[in-house]
């Protein structure tokens, strides 16, 4: 039994040494594995910001360079704006109706 324990301890020691010498992304799943290795690709917030800026800049360049897409986007924004403007006008009319009703109730109650 003692011989097996010594052999097991020796194997564990060797495994630990291998994991320590191996890059984190290649380590076995129990030691962090690939997910822990991804942290090394983006070690700082600056990298995150850079990648986000790169993606947004690429998308902006694509939209600005494609005339048909740009036209569809502008039409969509105009429809959205027109819908919002008409909704706001409707709300203003309802507020005026409520004010008129309140004024009529106050005049009748006095």
Q: For each of the chain's 110 residues, which pLDDT tens digit applies?
A: 677 778 778 877 777 776 666 554 454 555 555 555 555 555 567 788 888 999 999 999 998 898 999 899 999 999 999 999 999 999 999 999 999 999 998 887 65
In the chain, where the domains are located? 17-65, 67-110
Residue spans of alpha helices (H) in 22-66? 33-41, 45-65
User: Do the Cβ atoms of 79 and 73 come closer than 8 Å?
Assistant: no
């Amino acid at each position: 039994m003692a011989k097996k324990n010594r052999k097991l301890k020796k194997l564990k020691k060797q495994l630990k040494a291998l994991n320590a010498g191996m890059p984190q992304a290649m380590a076995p799943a129990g030691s962090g594995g690939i997910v822990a290795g991804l942290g090394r690709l983006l070690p700082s917030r600056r990298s995150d910001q850079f990648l986000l800026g790169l993606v947004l800049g690429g998308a902006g360049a694509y939209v600005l360079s494609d005339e048909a897409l740009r036209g569809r986007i502008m039409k969509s924004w105009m429809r959205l704006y027109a819908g919002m403007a008409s909704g706001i006008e409707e709300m203003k009319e309802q507020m005026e109706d409520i004010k008129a009703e309140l004024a009529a109730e106050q005049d009748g109650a006095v």
